[in-house]
Structure 1
Amino acid sequence: MIEKTRGIFLHAVKYSETSLIASIYTEHYGRQSFIINGVHGKNSTVRAAVFQPLYLLDLEIYYKAGREIHRIKNARITYPYSTIPFDIRKSTQVLFLAEVLYKCLREEETNIELFDFLYHSLTLLDLTEAGISNFHIWFLFKLTRFLGFSPSREDAERCNFFDLQTARFVSHEPLHSQFTDKHLTVLFTRLFTIDSSSIENLDYTQHERRLVLEKLLEFYHIHLGNLGEFKSLEVLKEVLK
Structure 2
Amino acid sequence: MSQRIKGLFLKATKLNHLSTIVELYTQQHGRASFIFSRASKKNTSFLFQPFHFIEFSCSYNNEKKINRGSKPELIFPIIDIISDIRKTGYALLLTEILNKVIHKEDKNEVFFLALKKMILSFEEQHFNSVFGVFFLKELLIYFGIQPINNYSSKSPFFLVSEGRFSSESDPSLVDNFPYNSFHQLLGTNIDNIFSFKINTVNRRLIMELLLRYMFYYDLINADKLNSIKILQSIYD
1:195 is aligned, of 189, 192, 215, to: 189
2:215 is aligned, of 213, 216, 221, to: 221
The reply to whether residue 57 of structure 1 matches residue 79 of structure 2 is no
Equivalent residue, structure 1, for 2:89: 92
Q: TM-score, normalised by structure 1?
A: 0.89
* CA displacement, residues 157-187 of structure 1 (integer Å, 9 cap, x when unaligned): 231221112212111135xx45575633222
In 1, are the aligned partners of 2:100 and 2:220 still within 8 Å (CA)? no
In 2, are the aligned partners of 1:194 and 1:201 still within 8 Å (CA)? no
Deviation for aligned residue 1:128: 0.7
Q: Which runs of 5+ in 2 are unaligned?
A: none
Deviation for aligned residue 1:121: 0.3
Could you tell me which amino acid in structure 1 is paired with residue 151 of structure 2?
A
In structure 2, C-alpha distance between the alignment counterparts of 1:178 and 1:35, rounded to whole Å: 44
2:160 is aligned, of 150, 157, 164, to: 164
Deviation for aligned residue 1:23: 0.8
Deviation for aligned residue 1:91: 1.1
The reply to whether residue 209 of structure 1 matches residue 203 of structure 2 is yes
Q: Which runs of 5+ in 1 are unaligned?
A: none
In structure 2, C-alpha distance between the alignment counterparts of 1:10 and 1:45, rounded to whole Å: 21
Q: Is 18-27 or 97-106 further displaced after alignment?
A: 18-27
In 1, are the aligned partners of 2:6 and 2:26 still within 8 Å (CA)? yes
* CA displacement, residues 42-91 of structure 1 (integer Å, 9 cap, x when unaligned): x4487111101120111212311222211102210010023111111111
In 1, are the aligned partners of 2:9 and 2:51 still within 8 Å (CA)? yes
Could you tell me which amino acid in structure 1 is paired with residue 98 of structure 2?
L
Deviation for aligned residue 1:201: 3.7
Secondary structure at the counterpart of residue 195 of structure 1: coil
Could you tell me which amino acid in structure 2 is paired with residue 222 of structure 1?
Y
In structure 2, C-alpha distance between the alignment counterparts of 1:225 and 1:183, rounded to whole Å: 23
In structure 1, C-alpha distance between the alignment counterparts of 2:57 and 2:111, rounded to whole Å: 21
In 2, are the aligned partners of 1:163 and 1:180 still within 8 Å (CA)? no
In structure 1, C-alpha distance between the alignment counterparts of 2:116 and 2:155, rounded to whole Å: 34
* CA displacement, residues 76-123 of structure 1 (integer Å, 9 cap, x when unaligned): 001002311111111111111100100011143531110011001000
Count of aligned residue pairs for this structure pair: 234
* CA displacement, residues 9-45 of structure 1 (integer Å, 9 cap, x when unaligned): 11112222322211100001011111223x1x3x448
Equivalent residue, structure 1, for 2:231: 236
In 1, are the aligned partners of 2:12 and 2:21 still within 8 Å (CA)? yes
